[in-house]
Chains A and B, each alone.
Chain A
């Protein structure tokens, strides 16, 4: 099976702009979660989508949003970018069933730099 695919791998934006990141999960995985990783804060959960519905949400402002499509692909959007949004954004898919239901399979990430 192909792994989790994230595009683009790198992005450079300026403050005030918006950005959309894309994630294609492992085939058969209906859950997609997004995480922000920074040196200071570590891995922080943004939100999870399951069957096109947001299932869980972390402690991030409303500028961070996402959606999931019927084929389980997911997008994450950040509006009005701030310098502090510079981070590695990781997408992870999960089967959400069976003994492996909570295991996260991560993509390579999108490294976002906000100038």
Chain B
């Protein structure tokens, strides 16, 4: 269907280690968005990817959109405790709604 699958569901890392979360769709995506939700907070928009093979960077965060536009990834280099939270990818829901969110990857960082 139109769901997006995110893996892993949870990730525990030591501070300074890298982290990657993946978002996969069975159908071609028009675009993909990424959001971060801190514990006790609300989702905050990070980035939108539109083009096939697109790579965007925000400081230690690298976002990729697959060549087939069916998958995306978020990679964090040298995690810090401020990176703690849940990272969601979201696809255009079309007639089902504005956005359809993945279940998210919950990142914890041990100092």
Q: Which residues of A contact B (CB under 8 A)?
A: 31, 33, 35, 42-43, 45, 47-48, 56-58, 90, 92, 94, 99-100, 102-109
Which B residues are in CB contact (< 8 Å) with A35? 101
Give the number of residues in B that approach A within 8 Å (Cβ atoms): 23
Segment of B18-26, B42-50, B58-66, B71-79 engaged in the interface with chain A: B42-50
B98 touching A104, Cβ below 8 Å: yes
Given contacts A103-B45, A104-B45, A108-B42, contact A56 B100 (CB under 8 A): no
Taken residue by residue from 94 to 111, chain B's Cβ proximity to chain A (1 for < 8 Å, 0 otherwise) reads as 011111111110000000
Which B residues are in CB contact (< 8 Å) with A106? 42-44
A56 touching B43, Cβ below 8 Å: no
Distance in angstroms from A56 CB to nearest chain B CB is 4
A102 touching B99, Cβ below 8 Å: yes
